[in-house]
Each structure stands twice: as C-alpha cells, then as structure tokens.
Amino acid sequence: MEREIAENAADMTAIGANVPAEFDAATEAEPVLTKQAPANRPKKRRIDIEEIYGTLFAAIPLIGFCIFGLVPLILAFAMAFLDMGTGWDIAEAEWAGFDNFVYLFSTASDEVGISIFEAIGNTLILGISTFISQILALGIAYLLSRDIKGRGIWRIIYFIPYVCSVVAITIMWRYMFNPSYGIINQFLGNTDITNGAIDWTDDPAMFYVTINIISIWSGMGYGILLYTAALTNVNQSAIEAAEIDGAGAFTKFFRIVLPSISPTTFYLLIMGVIGMLQSFTITNVFDSSGGPDKHGITIVFFMYQYLYDWQNVGVASAASWVLAALILIVTLIQFIGSRRWVKYD
Amino acid sequence: MTDRTEMPVAEESLPGERQTPPAAPVKERAPKMRSGKTMNTVTKTVIYAILALYALVIIFPFLIVIITSFKTWQDAVSSEFSWVPPMGFTLEGYQEVFTYKASSDSTLPSLVNGFINTLLYVLPPTILGLLTSSISAYAFSKLRFRSKKWMYSLLLGTMMIPGTIMIVPQYVIYDSIGWINTPLPLMIPGMFGAAACVFFMRQFYSGIPDSLIEASKLDGLGYFGIFFRIMVPLAVPALLAQGLLGFIGGYNDYLGPLLYLHEDRLHTLQVALNNIADTYERRSNVVMAASIVALVPMLTVYFFTQRYFISGIVSSGLKD
C-alpha cells in the first residue's frame, strides 16, 4: 500500500508540477477528473460525513467574508444616511437622510479643498498610465515571445518593480524628479526652475505626468508576465496559414495574435481599471497634503481624508458609494463591450 | 536563470521512488511566435536593443539610488550628479537609518522596529490563511456536498468587490470593538483565507487523481488525514507560490497600516519608511538608504524564489 501511494504520488507530480506553471494544464486535467470520479467514488457511502466536512471546510473563507466583508458592506450603505457628528462612534449616529450626498455633491468641499468631481477627474487623469502600461507591456511581451535568448533573465528584470513596495518606489522617483537636484532634470540639462526647468513635482500639470510615469514604470511587469504567458499559447498553425496566404507581420499581429490573446487583454483591462479607480498610495506618499492644486487627491484619498483627518463618517461613506457606483458602471460597460472583441475559444 | 524550456518533468521517475514535486517550473514551450523563416539579423538586433533599453530603464533608478545612499547629504542634493561623489563615499546615510528613532522611548530604530512589526503582522495571517484557503479548496475540488456550487459562485463573487469601498465601515467597526491601534484588523480577516487563493488551489487540487484519494481512504485516512498527508505535501510548490504572493502583498501594504496603526511603536516598515522620508526631507542620502534597506529583504526573497512568484502570478491571473 505504502508503495502504491508513493507510485501515485510520483504520477501526481507529473500532473501537479504542471499545474501552477502551465495555466491551461488545469483545464486539461479537469475532464480527466470528471471521467474518473463516478467510477472510483463509492456513491452512497459516507455521504453524510462528506457533506458535513465539505460544507465546513469550504465555508471558512465565506465565514470570514460575512464577518469582515458583508457586515461592513451593509453598514457602508447605511452609514451614508447617518450623521455621526465628529468621530467614529456609531452610537451617536442620527438619521441624516440625503444630507451627506447633498453635501458631497454641492460643495467644493471646504475640508479637503476640492469637490468629489475633481477627485474623480484626478483619479482618471492619474489612471491614464493603466492603458499606456498595458500597451507597452504587450509590446515588450511580444518581443519576448520571439525567438530570443535569455527570456527568463529579461523577465526577472522586468518584474522587479512589481515586488518593490510602492512606498519605496515613490520615494525613489520623487528624489529623481526633484526639479533642482534630481537626475532627470540634470539629464535634461536644466535644473533652474526660475529659468525654465521643468517643475515635475510642484507644477500642477506636470504633477499628473510625473505620477503617471511612476505608475507605468511600476505597473508594467504584471502585464508583461501575463502577456508572455498568453502569447506562448497562440495557435501556431493559424499564423502559419496566414503566412502562406501572404500575410505581413502587421496583419498577423492584428488579425491573429491580438484576437487570440483578447481574454488576457480583457482581464488586464478590468483589473487595471478597477485598481486604477482605487489608487491612493503613490500620490499619498508623493505628497501627503495632496500635491499641487490638490491634483493628487484621488477618490480613495478623498475618502481617507474625510474618514480620518476630518472624522466625518457620513460624507466618507457617501464618497464610497460614489466609488462603488463608478466601479460597477465601468465594469459593466467593459463586460458589455467585451462581447464585441473578446474571443474565448 | 536560464530558459526553462527543457525543465524535466517527473514522468520518467521510477515507480516507488518518492519524489518531492519539482518546484513549479515556469514551463515555457519552445518559442512559438517565431515565424517560419528565422528572423534576420537586423530585426534581432533591434529586438535585443529594445529589450536592453527597457532593462536599463528598470535598473538605472536603482543604481542612482544605491549610489546616492552612499553619499554625503551635500553630494546627494548636488545639482550635478556624480557617480563618484566629490566628498567621497560614506555610510552616514545607513548609520542614520539604523539609529533613527521616531520617539525617545522606543528601544529599536524605527525602521528595524517596522520590519519586525511587519513580519509579526504579515506572517501569521499568510500562513494560517494559506491553510484555511487550501482546506477550503480541497473541499471544493475533492469533496461532495450539496451547497458546493452556489458557495463557490458566492466565493468568486466576493473577489469582485473592491476592497476600498469597505474601509469606512470597517474603520467604524474596528473602532467600536477597540481594534484601532492594534494589528488585529491587518491580521484577523486574512486568517479566514482569500478567495483568489482558494480559486488557485482548487485548480491545483483538481489535478490530483481521485484514485490516490480513494487509496488513502482505504488506508484509513480521514478527511483531515487526506488533506494533511496527501494534498498538502503534493501542493508545496503551489502553496509556496500563493504564500509568497500573500506575503508580498502584506509586506508592501500601506493604506491598512496607515489607517489602523497610529502609534510609532506599532508602525510597519512601509509607514516607518515614509516617516523617515518626511523627517529627513533634505538629507536624501538617508532617505535613499532607508529605501534600500526596506527593499533589500523583499528583493532577496524575490531573487531566490522568482519562479514560484512568477508561476503563482501567471496561473492566478490567467485562469478564468
């Protein structure tokens, strides 16, 4: 028996080893499983115990979600209609109707210094990097998928920024972007702001550019990784067929490669946009007061200031409503739009 | 690391030879995008040039920062960058980093204290969360129970909920139960496991043949026995990949510690680093030294375990 288990274990490694690396191996393995399952599994025996254990084991993360996710979620919606004065004590809450929303939408909020609409605008402008880095990542991944040497080494280098903390990266880049002693202005040959040097950190418009550059630099690795994996799976015979038909490099790329990696593009786009709408860390570390003209105040930054600095839970909750609605709408639009261009096999 | 094109798979292993599963290799098929003709030299040169240029863009900032961290502060903020600083190299920045204390009553330097705190806050939920996620994944992949389908859909659904929309009510709840200024909000929720991890581990466990499980059942192993004696040992590479991903997330987290921990002695590495950057605003050599100190542990872990990292990310990102 011992031996048999060991034997199976050895078989297992052949299958198992592939699973994490080869993302399609799991799907290949699943039909095998369903074929075997009815044959090997006694149908009625121990069904009750299995039922209990199965439900219990499976429920652990769901219990966690109910306590730390569902309860706050419900509360989040309730609290937007409460006035809790200053502070976080829910016992002091009073019904406020739509006051928080009226306040949120009507004023260029005195506390934070900008309105929620400006915060949304900042978030979107600072989030342009999401799309740029995705396109660049595809480009690099496409080059990596060609017949080149040292693919592993390139990929290790390109992935470095992803494992670095955003805090450290932001601090590093803030130093390099310093207008008077940063390496970037030295490279551009002008470190005198009074004399036309680019003010990367304090000029409101350039601030957007600076933050976007940092985001692109730190965010590309993930896209490169997923795109490289997707590109190795592109159907080779389709490309060869196109070649025989006389298709050029561009036709091949846009007509065959791009459609066949569209699920990856879609995944990266969805996750990227959801992440982008929740951005906070880079601008908060770069300038905790919000940057020039408050251009660094994103939606989450806005919420954070109301929640923590101004201790106005009602308005902060109303702002989370806005964020949730925005994410929902954008995700829905992407899902609906995806029917036109995402091709699953 | 070289190409893993010829990574051996355990297929040829002799029966009876107990093998530890090979570390989830990033298996790469032979380059596929290659066209029928081999690329000409010009194309190849251009490709290598672009790849090298981009690698330089990644590495160059780190070089600048490392050099700066060994400069005097005057050289560090000089408007003429020098690879060899006029005032010479110095460890001043690092000395400052390892002596700076946020308040007089703290015993450890703030960055060291932050590092220890980070490990204390991140490791327990990472390890325990890995265990709960994978036991749940085991149930979803190998056990039969009636509510399986909707429970799994529900779990996947929770992944779609953006975390930041809950920070306001979570803060209020944690405040009312006295968890603010304790690491508990950063630790306890993670211990119940993460949906993404369950999802990934379920994929892995589905690949384990049922015959193996049936055999161990006949051997008298119960559900826990099967999980700990069969499933977990086989899943070590996958667990490592997920554990590393969880760890990096916790180690680099900023918003959570910033919200919940307001005392210097409780700060995590990232928050401590940001405080140092604010305190030493003009002394860039100290700030850069602090960044390097904060980055080195994670980069070390990355270089030694990058294949787990990469496989973990690729498979959790692509399998939908």
Helix (H) or strand (E) segment spanning residue A94: strand A94-95
**Per-residue model confidence (pLDDT) at position B20:** 40
Q: Which pLDDT belongs to residue A109?
A: 63
B132 lies within 8 A of chain A by CB: yes
Cβ–Cβ under 8 Å, residues A297 and A290: yes
Residues 64-83 of B with CB under 8 A from A: 64-65, 68, 76-81
Neighbours of B282 (CB within 10 A): 10
Computed over every residue of chain A, the mean pLDDT equals: 83
Which residues does chain B have within 8 Å of residue A217's beta carbon, measured at their own beta carbons?
57-58, 61
For the four alpha carbons of B58, A224, B157 and A119, in that order, the dihedral sign comes to: positive
pLDDT reported for residue B133:
94
List the 225-244 stretch of B: residues with Cβ below 8 A of A: 230, 233-235, 237-238, 241
List, as ranges, residues 105-124 from B with C-beta within 8 Å of A: none
Cβ contacts (< 8 Å) between B1 and chain A: which residues? 152-153, 156
The tokens describing A119, both together, are 């915060």
Query: What is the structure's pLDDT at A235?
Result: 80
Q: Kindly identify which residue of chain B lies nearest to residue A230, measuring between CA atoms.
A: B318
pLDDT at residue B38, rounded to an integer? 63
Question: Using CB atoms, which residue from B44, B47, B145 is nearest to A50?
Answer: B145
Of B28, B173, B219, the CB nearest to A232: B28
Which of B78, B79, B165 is facing A76, going by the closest CB pair? B165
Burial B121-157 (b: 16+ CB within 10 A, else e): bbbebbebbbbbbbbbbbbbbbbebeebeebbeebee
Half-sphere exposure of A204 (CA within 13 A, CB side): 6
Q: What is the pLDDT of residue B32?
A: 46
Q: How far apart are the first and last CA of chain A?
A: 42
The CATH number corresponding to A101-341 among 1.10.8.60, 3.30.70.260, 1.10.3720.10, 3.30.497.10 equals 1.10.3720.10
pLDDT in tens, A48-93: 788 888 899 999 999 999 999 899 988 888 888 988 877 777 777 7
Question: Which contiguous run of DSSP H or E holds residue B34?
Answer: none
A vs B: CB pairs below 8 A:
449
Cross-chain residue pair A165–B251, CB shorter than 8 Å: yes
What residue spans define the domains of chain B?
34-69, 100-318
Whether chain A has a CB inside 8 Å of the CB on B198: the answer is yes
Residue A345 pLDDT: 66
Q: Say yes or no for a CB contact (<8 Å) between B158 and A65.
A: yes
pLDDT digits (tens, 9 = 90+) for A81-125: 988 877 777 777 788 788 888 888 886 666 778 889 999 999 999
pLDDT of residue B317: 59
CA B1 to CA A333: how far, in whole Å?
42
Query: Can you name the CATH fold of B100-318?
Result: MetI-like fold (1.10.3720)
The pairs formed by A288-291 with CB atoms below 8 angstroms and a separation of 24 or more are A288/B278, A290/A112, A290/A113, A290/A114, A291/A204, A291/A207, A291/A211
- The per-residue pLDDT for B316 is 65
Q: Residue A141, SS3?
A: helix
Q: Do B223 and A57 touch (CB under 8 A)?
A: yes
Q: Which stretches within chain B are classed as H helix?
A: 41-69, 73-76, 92-97, 110-142, 148-159, 167-176, 184-187, 195-206, 210-218, 223-225, 232-234, 236-252, 255-260, 269-279, 284-318
Those residues of chain A that have pLDDT short of 50 are: 1-39, 46
State the span(s) of chain A assigned CATH 1.10.3720.10.
101-341
Strand partners, A94: A83
pLDDT in tens, chain B (320 residues): 333 333 333 333 333 333 444 444 444 444 444 444 567 888 889 999 999 999 999 999 999 999 999 998 888 888 888 888 888 899 999 999 999 888 777 788 999 999 999 999 999 999 999 999 999 999 999 888 888 999 999 998 888 888 888 899 999 999 999 999 999 999 999 999 998 899 889 988 988 888 888 888 888 888 888 999 989 998 888 898 889 888 988 999 999 999 999 988 999 999 999 999 999 988 999 999 999 999 999 999 999 988 887 877 777 655 43
CA distance A174 to A171: 5
Q: Give me B256's structure tokens.
A: 């959570």
Contacts of A186 in chain B (CB under 8 A): 79-81
Minimal CA separation from A276 to chain B, in Å? 11
* pLDDT value of residue B29: 47
CB contact under 8 Å between B311 and A21, yes or no, is yes
Q: Which residues of B touch A143 (CB under 8 A)?
A: 47, 50-51
